[in-house]
Amino acid sequence: MSAPIAVIGAGAWGTALAWLLAGKGEQVRLWAFEPEVASGIVADHENKLFLPGVSLPAALEPTTSLAEAVDGVTLIVLVVPSHATAKVAASLAPHLRTGVPLVTATKGIEPEKLRLISEVLEETLPARRGPVFALSGPSFAVEVCRRLPTAVALAGPPGAPAEALQRLLMTPTFRVYLSEDRIGVQLGGALKNVIALAAGVVDGLGLGHNTRAALITRGLAEMVRLGAAMGADARTFAGLSGIGDLVLTCTGGLSRNRSVGVQLGQGKKLADILAGTRTVAEGIGTAKAAKALAERHGVEMPIVREVCAVLFEGKDTRRAVTDLMERAARSEFDQP
């Protein structure tokens, strides 16, 4: 058996990636923040809290110790919520082996300094770490574990390490495409969650398919604008981590962010929605970060702005939709 791989974060997506790698015969250590998740995997070979119904291979070893998780590993995959990444990375630093590549599969933006997760890892972890990659794309965890065909993008520096990671992650039902646009791949994965909140609101209000299609399309335009301002390749947003993940998250019934939006559109309060779930809807924190990034880079993002008004200022959801529709007329491809 090859040297172990560490997956840091035992939410649905982290568990699914650990399942995928262990299913290929890799020795996988899965770090869980919640002790009950680790003990449940030991007892039942199942993550009943975040990925119920999926049988986990015996080669997947759960742990609540970061030092134990990364001891002697050849790869670290980080899948922790964006707001926790800096703290977890700082805790990992003393235990990091020289030259180990890192893959971030978190779809969010670090809220304090508005950093992409790859930037958090590069700035927090010591210089002896290996290259940092970003994995993103349309990939509901439970469908990956049902072996339903899925395709994602892996972004990072080109060369042998990237190609080795591509081969490591590929299966007959999980296809991985390489990209060099780490900024665009991460922004696509993060910003689509904000647009999914808005799409959920549209569905919760019962506004129909026309409205949702317009919302998705104009949301993509906002994503491209911010991406261009931050140095991303616009083509990335026409790919898996852009329009691919955007369509999935805005329309799929398994989307946590869309579900929160639906409930907001139905008149529920955000605090009440969040009180009823332990899963993380990354779009909530990302909305605030995206608005701040738009202001920093002088980019107009009206959908993001209205999502923030609904989430954090108590704005009525119908009023938010009306304000979007009644803005001044303009050409489709103008900047504002």
pTM higher than the cut 0.85:
yes
Q: How many domains, in total, are found in the chain?
A: 2
pLDDT at 7 over 70: yes
State how far the Cα of 328 lies from the Cα of 2, in Å rounded to an integer: 60
Q: Which two tokens stand for residue 21?
A: 């790698």
State how far the Cα of 203 lies from the Cα of 273, in Å rounded to an integer: 16
pLDDT at 255 over 70: yes
Q: Which pLDDT value is given to residue 1?
A: 46
Taking every pair of Cα atoms in the chain, the longest distance, rounded to a whole number of angstroms, is 63
34 shares its domain with 176: yes
Q: Which pLDDT value is given to residue 335?
A: 58
Q: What percent of the chain has pLDDT over 90?
A: 91
- Asked whether residue 336 is domain-assigned, the answer is no
pLDDT at 8 over 80: yes
Q: What percent of the chain has pLDDT over 70?
A: 99
249 shares its domain with 134: no
Which residue among 158, 180, 202 closes a domain? Answer: 180
90 shares its domain with 203: no
Interacting residues of 47 by C-beta distance below 8 A, sequence separation 6+: 10, 12, 15, 37, 40, 41, 54, 56
Q: Which two tokens stand for residue 29?
A: 């250590």
pLDDT at 23 over 50: yes
Q: Which two tokens stand for residue 116?
A: 């992409």
- Asked whether residue 330 is domain-assigned, the answer is no
Please report which confidence band the pLDDT of residue 334 belongs to, taking 50, 70 and 90 as the band edges: low
Which of the residues 24, 48, 113, 192 is marked catalytic? 192
pLDDT at 85 over 70: yes
Answer yes or no: are the C-beta atoms of 116 and 110 closer than 8 Å.
yes
- Asked whether residue 197 is domain-assigned, the answer is yes
206 shares its domain with 128: no
Q: To the nearest whole number, what is the mean pLDDT of the chain?
A: 95
Residue 288 is a catalytic residue: no
Q: Which pLDDT value is given to residue 128?
A: 73
22 shares its domain with 95: yes
Nearest to 129 by CA among 161, 84, 171, 153: 161
107-116, 274-283, 318-327: segment of lowest average pLDDT: 274-283
> What's the CATH number where 247 sits?
1.10.1040.10
Answer yes or no: are the C-beta atoms of 185 and 155 closer than 8 Å.
yes
- Asked whether residue 333 is domain-assigned, the answer is no
Answer yes or no: are the C-beta atoms of 41 and 62 closer than 8 Å.
yes
201 shares its domain with 315: yes
- Asked whether residue 185 is domain-assigned, the answer is no
The angle subtended at Cα 29 by Cα 158 and Cα 66, nearest 5°, is 90
Give me the torsion for CA of 179, 184, 188, 194, rounded to 10°.
Answer: 170
More confident residue, 334 or 138: 138
Interacting residues of 106 by C-beta distance below 8 A, sequence separation 6+: 9, 78, 79, 80, 81, 82, 85, 117, 282
* Side chain identity at residue 105, one-letter code: A
State how far the Cα of 282 lies from the Cα of 312, in Å rounded to an integer: 15
State how far the Cα of 174 lies from the Cα of 217, in Å rounded to an integer: 27
172 shares its domain with 239: no
pLDDT at 292 over 90: yes
Q: Which two tokens stand for residue 108?
A: 């969010």
54-63, 106-115, 126-135: segment of lowest average pLDDT: 126-135
> What's the CATH number where 124 sits?
3.40.50.720
52 shares its domain with 154: yes
Answer yes or no: are the C-beta atoms of 304 and 298 closer than 8 Å.
no
Which residue among 151, 180, 209 closes a domain? Answer: 180
165 shares its domain with 245: no
Which residue among 180, 211, 230 closes a domain? Answer: 180
Report the DSSP pairing between strands 150-155 and 60-63: unpaired
102 shares its domain with 154: yes
- Asked whether residue 91 is domain-assigned, the answer is yes
- Asked whether residue 172 is domain-assigned, the answer is yes
State how far the Cα of 241 lies from the Cα of 243, in Å rounded to an integer: 7
94 shares its domain with 175: yes
Look up the domain containing 112 and give its range. Answer: 5-180
- Asked whether residue 335 is domain-assigned, the answer is no
pLDDT at 280 over 90: no
State how far the Cα of 329 lies from the Cα of 322, in Å rounded to an integer: 14
State how far the Cα of 138 lies from the Cα of 243, in Å rounded to an integer: 9
pLDDT, average across residues 38-51: 96
pLDDT at 161 over 80: yes
165 shares its domain with 197: no
State how far the Cα of 252 lies from the Cα of 270, in Å rounded to an integer: 21
pLDDT at 237 over 60: yes
Give me the torsion for CA of 253, 259, 261, 262, rounded to 10°.
Answer: 70
pLDDT tens-place string over residues 185-233: 999 999 999 999 999 999 999 999 999 999 999 999 999 999 999 999 9
